[in-house]
Structure 1
């Protein structure tokens, strides 16, 4: 029963990641044209930072309860699926490069964050004991 309990955070965090992507990035789909003709977007920096900070709260929750695999795999899967569906209408075909970068970046970032959180929790418990 214990291994199953450790797998439940995977779909939960994947779902949270999908919902947070939609909340922070899903509604802004147009690029802004600057006066000099250059384009920016479709996301502003504050949207991406907001997504990262809210995801960090979910990753912290899972990692502090020793659901590290769930945090890493679930968050990575959710963000990868969200990026795929959000960007798949790109006619250049380069959206898969971006999706791959989201997948690798979220995998590395959540693994590092989980390692730091787990280490801090372990060291915090040793100090109190």
Structure 2
């Protein structure tokens, strides 16, 4: 893989990852309270998180097909965690966003590694 392709691929991958955060989670509207039960939920709806995860799976699979998982996993992990953390830190007075950031980092890291590696190995096996 050439340096130019690696650099361009990494930049485009970071943009797609941050775009995924912005499209699904960047516009959250805060917590909501169920008037019947009094239960509080949020700041994201379940469908927002599911949409973000499914989009990240597609991005990781395509990137793993085209690029090395050694590039894909760290770029996606850092980009998504940074986007999520920037917003969370700005809107959380409790400081608990740090716990969320660690969980986002671990989940994104594990998921992007497994999906990109799977796509990469599938492509290698297919082209033999």
CA distance in 2, matches of 1:12, 1:66: 11
Equivalent residue, structure 2, for 1:81: 82
Render the CA deviation track for 1:33-56: whole Å, top value 9, x for unaligned: 012222011111211111122222
Asked if the contact 2:62/2:119 (under 8 Å) is kept, the reply is no
Equivalent residue, structure 1, for 2:121: 119
Render the CA deviation track for 1:19-72: whole Å, top value 9, x for unaligned: 111111111221110122220111112111111222222222211113323321
Aligned ranges 1:29-108 → 2 under 5 Å: 29-34=29-34, 35-88=36-89, 89-108=91-110
Secondary structure of the residue aligned to 2:43 is coil
Equivalent residue, structure 2, for 1:12: 12
Secondary structure of the residue aligned to 1:69 is helix
- Tell me which moved more, 1-10 or 34-43: 1-10
CA distance in 1, matches of 2:69, 2:97: 29
Aligned length: 126
CA 47–103 in structure 1, closer or farther in 2 if over 3 Å, else same: same
Coordinate RMSD, CA, aligned: 1.7
